[in-house]
Amino acid sequence: MSTVPIGKRALVVDDDEAVLRLMTHWLTRAGYAVVPCETFEQGKHQLTTSPPDVLLTDLRLGAFNGLQLVILARAQSPETIAVVMSAFDDATLRDEAARCGAHYLMKPFSLTQLLELTNGDTIQEHT
């Protein structure tokens, strides 16, 4: 498993409780201090009060879009690594995520795939 520098913070935003728990568990095991959020609003509040090192967000968050969180995160802290998760392989959304500076990660994915993105500094596509 990859080593995460002490103090790395991850914000996980997903309205699916099972996914939120799994991502929180995986990132905690990997050494991140994780802040889980179930709603877009909670994620937005966390981004504005304490920008994370890593943002992991679902693409679809009720009436909102995870890319909106990515844009906010990158505006607040350009070095934030952003990963958008989706169960849909949509080329347009994949391109939009890349334009926003985010990785696009297809569900289901492995812990290894997630850590390759969150510990790296280049945008890669994983399907």
Kindly report the CATH number assigned to the domain that includes residue 101: 3.40.50.2300
Sign of the CA dihedral running 77, 66, 57, 96: negative
Q: Compute, in degrees rounded to 10, the torsion defined by CA atoms 35, 66, 20, 78.
A: -30
Query: For residue 126, what pLDDT band results from cuts at 50, 70 and 90?
Result: very low
State the average pLDDT over residues 108-118.
82
Domain presence at residue 123: no
Q: Based on the structure, what is the number of domains in the chain?
A: 1
State the average pLDDT over residues 74-83.
91
- Structural domain containing residue 47: 9-118
pLDDT, position 7:
65
CA gap 76, 11 in Å, rounded? 14
